[in-house]
Structure formats: structure tokens, C-alpha cells
């Protein structure tokens, strides 16, 4: 098991102070800090290997291509993909889901079809489907969430019909940290002939994932939430599905041939094979290299230990928070067995923004607002919430300091 | 002659159902802005010199030592501009 205090030296940002206090970063569900190894990998790419990929025969281009495709291979192995071709580089989870919505949904969903989505989803797993449903006329069914933030499996599974074509579910809620049994839901989806899209933005960074074990048809996640750079993410898709899907954007890289016919005065176009069919234009090469470095960093720690470390922090924090302050409320389930290292909370008499600004004064960063999950806040009957979220470099000592500051808020 | 723009860096809606408006003061002018506001508005509550709950013209709002203010129940931008002018100038 790694020691969080020891690995903090890898993260240059922890050398700084905020408002005169040591930085305590509890906004990891939004984005994570970057270790020196990731920063160095990106810098090394630009200093020593920078060139465009796939398009030249010169040495630098070959090096860049090897790094780029090598990153794809590293990522594919990390999530248990059958082959690297199942890994599509995108900007992040949002773009990954939009890619499925436009490339698959727009062409395969019609009036009478149904897409099943849980009410705990991030807006990025709701809004693309709402947009496409307005274009093609399919129906979206929303599955309930229990008052403690756990998924109502009976409701979700009961809403599958012969018309259900797709089920969309986050593996971990970005608000409550609740872990969903996506493998169970995928099985039910497949029994009904539907596909399963898993939003892995809050799970892939924190636990071992095997897409083949989950039997997910699509998995979307972001690099920046797992120590990697911003602007790089992944859509995993089963190869057979990716092969059948239409391109997302048009341009270079995603085509095999564009041939002008003087007879018809038009262009005949054939698509490249997946994953390049979905990667129009010059990709975020350095971002992919950085993400591969982030994955290697996490693999060195061991994903089982990453999960265990966050579990211990969550158990420790929940136990202390439940007894520390009379004005403090924890939202959603507090059972650490059901959740990851995300704790939504509020302080009586203070808005979530008051709480975040007060903590900020002491160098403690937490999120406030809806966290892009307004429907779940409606279920919790909350106008907004504050959210503390942990990662590999967080410590129990930081949680103690966080609680000290929360106690001070009770004087308001 | 000072203007509200001399003090204000950004005005945004907060995230959440509260529909509050958050005003971020320019870093180099934040202390001056806070001093003006604290002089003109009535102090209702104060948490560790970090959060100040204030009343002004029958409206309650909060100011933060980090250089922000959150207003609730503001009808429109014109009303906010008028209140900021009255507090800052």
C-alpha cells in the first residue's frame, strides 16, 4: 500500500500555499492535480518528439506516432479492451458521450425507441440524449434514484421494454459517490437487446475497470480526472459497434479516400477504420502521451490500493463528520461500502458557496453548486451542495484540518 | 471619478437553484471595495472576519474577505448595477 504523504512530493502544486495556508485539494471529482511524471512526459514530447502523427515518413513523425499509438495501447490494456482499436481519443467524457449520441444515436434511434437514463447522471449523460431525441423523436425514460442517492435498481430494470435500445448509467455518481452495479444493469440491457453506455468519469480514475467483465458496449472517461492533462479523454467501444457507426466529425485522418469524379462533379469518400474514423483532424498527441504517463503512475500504485486508500479516507471522514458539528448535514448514503471518495454536505444557515468560500480562505478547495447534476439535487431536495472529493494524495491529517474549519463555521 | 467597473472583475450567476449572483472584485481593488461596502451597509453577522452578512436598502447579502460578494433576489442586471454603485462609489 502506498503512503499518500510520500507521493505528494511528486506533485509540484502541493509546494504552494493558498491564502497563506498549505493547499488542501478536495475537488478531485472536478479535476485532479498532476504529478511531475505526467508534466515531464508532455514536456518531453514537445521538446524531443513533436510532429504530426500518421502523415509523414520522417523520423519525428514516426516517433510521435509510436508515442500516440503506444498511449492508446496503454489505455486499452488499463481498461481491459480487447484491442487498442477500441480506444477512441476524444476531449473528455462529454465528447465521448456526444460521439455516441451523434454517431450511433442519430442514425439508430427513431420514434418509438427508448433510451433509459438514471436520474443521478451528470448533465453530460442527459443533455446529448435530450438533443438527439428532439431530432429523431425517440423517448427518454428516466430511472429513479432512492432518497439516499443509491440507484433504484427495481425501477431501472423494470423500465426496460422491447423498445429499449440503450441504457446510460454512471458507474460512480459525481455528486454522492455512490457506486452503481453497471455489470448487473448491462446484463439486463443485453437481455432486452439494448446497448449499455457507462459513464466512467468518476470510476476509471479510482478503481480497477475491465470493460469485458462489465460487458459495457461503451465506456466514457476523462484524462484530467485521473492525473492526466485536460483536453484528452477516451471513448471505449466494442469494435463491432465502432465499425458499424458513422463518423462523428469530418476532416483529415478519419478518411481512407476522398476522390473527385469529374463525371459526377462530386467526391466519393470512404472512411478510415476505427478508431481513426472518429478522430478527425490532428489529435491531442501530447495529451495522449500525458494520459499514458498518468496511467502508468496509477498502475505503479496499483488500482486496488488506490481504491482502498480512498475508501479508508471516506470511512474516516464520514465517521468524523457525523460527530463533529451539529449544523453539518451529509447528503446521500454515508455507508462507505456503497460509495467512493465523494462526500456531499451542507452547513445550516450557509449556502454551498458560503461554505466553499470560507474553506477557501484556509486553503481548502471544495466544489459548490449542482456539480452538473441538477436532477439528483432535486431528488435530494437541495438548492445546491458542497462536495469534498478525495484522491491518492489526500491524507487523514487534511481531513482533520478540514473538520476544524467546518467547526469554526458553526459559529455563524 | 471612480466607476463600478474600476472595482468589479466579473459578475456571474452562481451554480445552484438559488440563482444568486456572485460579484468578484478586482484583486488590487478588493480591499478598497470591501472597505466601502462595510462602511455603507449594516453588519448583521460576521464569521471570523471571512464572511460578512450585511443589510442594505432592505436587502441582505454576503461579502467575503477573499474579495467576493453574493447577492440574492436581484431582479436584473440594472438593479445590481445600481446597488453596486450605491455601495462602492
Cell numbers found for residue B3: 466607476
Phi, psi of B43 (to 5 degrees): -80, 120
| pLDDT at residue B75, as a whole number | 86
Chain B residues closer than 8 Å to A375 by CB: none
Tell me, what's the pLDDT at A411?
A: 86
Integer Rg of chain B from CA: 12
Site of grid cell 493558498: A18
Over residues A191-237, the pLDDT tens digits come to 999 999 999 999 999 999 999 999 999 999 999 999 999 999 999 99
* The one catalytic residue among A168, A267, A324, A372: A372
Q: How many beta carbons lie within 10 A of that of residue A233, not counting itself?
A: 28
For residue A381, give the chain B residue with the closest CA.
B17
β-bridge partners, A343: A388
For residue B64, give the C-alpha cell.
467575503
Alpha carbons within 13 angstroms on the beta-carbon side of residue A49 total 17
Alpha helices in B1-89 (DSSP H): 30-40, 77-88
Q: Hey, what domains does chain A have and what are their CATH numbers?
A: 4-26+302-405 (3.90.1150.10), 39-299 (3.40.640.10)
Q: List all residues 6 or more positions away from A160 whose beta carbon is below 8 Å from its beta carbon.
A: A116, A167, A188, A189, A191, A192, A194
- The mean pLDDT of A43-57, rounded to a whole number, is 95
pLDDT score, position A368:
95
DSSP A339-402: B-SEEEEEETTS-HHHHHHHHHHTTEE-EEE-TT-HHHHHHTT-S-EEEEE--TT--HHHHHHH
Q: What are the residues whose beta carbons fall under 8 Å from the beta carbon of A291, sequence distance 6 or more?
A: A71, A75, A223, A226, A228, A229, A232, A234
Dist. CA A405–CA A335, nearest whole Å: 24
Is residue B31 less than 8 Å (CB to CB) from chain A? no
Subunit contact B66:A374, Cβ cutoff 8 A: no
Name chain A contacts of B17, Cβ cutoff 8 Å: 370, 374, 377, 382-384
- Alpha-carbon separation of residue A89 from A26, A236, A292 (angstroms): 28, 9, 12
Of A221, A122, A219, A222, which is closest to residue A174 (Cα–Cα)?
A122
Average pLDDT along chain A: 97
What is the ipTM, given to two decimal places?
A: 0.92
**Rounded CA gap, A192 and A113, in Å?**
13
Alpha helices in A347-395 (DSSP H): 352-361, 374-379
User: Cis bond leading into A60, ω under 30°?
Assistant: no
Percent over 90 (pLDDT), chain A? 98
Mean pLDDT, rounded, for B45-68: 95
Distance, in Å, from the CA atom of A32 to the CA atom of A226, rounded to the nearest integer, reads 6
| Span A324-346, average pLDDT | 95
**What pLDDT is recorded for position A142?**
98
Residue A34 and residue A227 in contact, taking contact as beta carbons nearer than 8 Å: yes
User: Any catalytic annotation for residue A267?
Assistant: no
Phi, psi of A152 (to 5 degrees): -85, 90
Band (pLDDT 50/70/90 cuts) for residue A412 is: confident
Flag whether residue B50 sits within 8 Å of chain A, measured between CB atoms.
yes
- The C-alpha of B50 sits at a distance from chain A's nearest C-alpha, in angstroms, of 7
Residue-wise pLDDT tens digits, A234-260: 999 999 999 999 999 999 989 999 999
Q: What is the pLDDT of residue B1?
A: 82
pLDDT value of position B19: 81
How many Cβ atoms are within 10 Å of A226's Cβ, its own excluded?
26
Provide the pLDDT for residue A364. Answer: 98
- Give percent of chain A with pLDDT exceeding 70: 100
| Contact predicate A386/A346, CB 8 Å | yes
pLDDT for position B17: 87
Residue of B nearest to A409 (CA): B47
Residues A114/A119/A125/A129 CA torsion (nearest 10 deg):
30
Q: How confident is the model at residue A46 (pLDDT cuts 50, 70, 90)?
A: very high
**Residue A207's pLDDT is what?**
98
| Contact indicator for A174, A221 with CB cutoff of 8 Å | no
The dihedral sign for the CA sequence B31, B36, B37, B42: positive
Tens of pLDDT, residue by residue over A108-131, are 999 999 999 999 999 999 999 999
Amino acid at each position: 500500500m502506498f503512503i499518500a504523504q510520500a507521493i505528494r512530493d511528486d506533485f509540484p502544486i502541493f509546494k504552494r500555499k493558498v491564502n497563506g495556508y498549505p493547499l488542501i485539494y478536495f475537488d478531485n471529482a472536478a479535476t485532479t492535480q498532476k504529478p511531475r511524471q505526467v508534466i515531464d512526459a508532455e514536456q518531453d514530447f514537445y521538446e524531443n518528439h513533436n510532429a504530426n502523427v500518421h502523415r509523414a515518413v520522417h523520423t519525428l513523425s514516426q516517433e510521435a506516432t509510436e508515442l500516440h499509438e503506444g498511449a492508446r495501447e496503454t489505455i486499452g490494456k488499463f481498461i481491459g479492451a480487447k484491442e487498442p482499436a477500441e480506444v477512441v481519443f476524444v476531449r473528455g467524457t462529454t465528447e465521448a458521450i456526444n460521439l455516441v449520441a451523434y454517431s450511433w444515436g442519430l442514425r439508430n434511434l427513431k420514434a418509438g425507441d427508448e433510451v433509459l437514463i438514471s436520474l443521478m447522471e451528470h448533465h453530460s449523460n442527459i443533455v446529448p440524449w435530450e438533443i438527439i431525441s428532439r431530432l429523431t423523436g425517440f423517448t427518454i425514460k428516466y430511472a429513479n434514484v432512492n432518497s439516499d442517492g443509491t440507484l433504484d435498481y427495481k425501477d431501472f430494470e423494470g423500465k426496460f421494454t422491447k423498445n429499449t435500445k440503450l441504457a446510460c448509467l454512471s458507474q460512480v455518481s459525481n455528486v454522492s459517490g455512490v457506486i452503481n452495479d453497471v455489470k448487473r444493469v448491462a446484463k439486463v440491457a443485453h437481455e432486452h437487446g439494448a446497448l449499455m453506455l457507462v459513464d466512467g468519469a468518476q470510476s476509471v480514475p479510482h478503481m480497477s475497470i475491465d470493460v469485458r467483465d462489465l460487458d459495457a458496449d461503451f465506456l466514457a472517461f476523462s484524462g484530467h480526472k485521473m492525473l492526466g492533462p485536460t483536453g484528452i479523454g477516451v471513448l471505449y467501444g466494442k469494435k463491432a459497434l465502432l465499425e458499424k457507426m458513422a463518423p462523428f466529425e469530418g476532416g483529415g485522418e478519419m478518411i481512407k479516400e476522398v476522390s473527385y469524379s469529374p463525371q459526377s462533379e462530386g467526391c466519393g469518400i470512404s472512411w478510415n477504420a476505427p478508431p481513426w474514423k472518429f478522430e478527425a483532424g490532428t489529435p491531442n498527441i501530447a495529451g495522449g502521451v500525458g494520459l499514458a504517463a498518468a496511467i502508468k503512475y496509477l498502475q505503479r500504485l496499483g488500482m486496488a490500493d488506490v481504491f482502498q486508500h480512498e475508501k479508508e479516507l471516506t470511512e474516516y471522514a464520514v465517521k468524523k463528520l457525523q460527530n463533529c458539528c451539529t449544523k453539518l448535514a451529509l447528503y446521500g448514503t454515508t455507508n462507505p461500502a456503497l460509495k467512493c471518495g465523494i462526500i456531499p454536505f451542507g452547513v445550516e444557515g450557509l449556502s454551498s458557496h458560503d461554505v466553499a468560500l470560507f474553506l477557501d480562505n484556509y486553503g481548502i478547495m471544495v466544489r459548490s453548486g449542482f456539480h452538473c447534476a441538477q436532477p439528483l439535487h432535486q431528488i435530494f431536495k437541495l438548492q445546491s451542495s458542497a462536495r469534498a472529493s478525495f484522491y491518492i494524495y489526500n491524507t487523514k491529517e487534511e481531513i482533520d484540518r478540514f473538520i476544524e474549519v467546518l467547526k469554526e463555521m458553526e459559529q455563524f | 471619478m471612480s466607476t463600478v467597473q474600476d472595482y468589479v472583475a466579473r459578475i456571474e450567476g452562481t451554480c445552484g437553484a438559488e440563482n444568486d449572483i456572485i460579484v468578484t472584485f478586482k484583486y488590487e481593488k478588493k480591499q478598497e471595495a470591501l472597505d466601502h461596502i462595510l462602511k455603507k451597509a449594516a453588519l448583521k453577522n460576521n464569521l471570523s472576519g471571512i464572511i460578512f452578512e450585511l443589510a442594505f436598502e432592505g436587502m441582505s447579502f454576503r461579502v467575503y474577505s477573499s474579495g467576493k460578494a453574493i447577492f440574492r433576489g436581484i431582479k436584473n442586471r440594472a438593479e445590481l448595477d445600481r446597488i453596486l454603485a450605491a455601495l462602492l462609489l
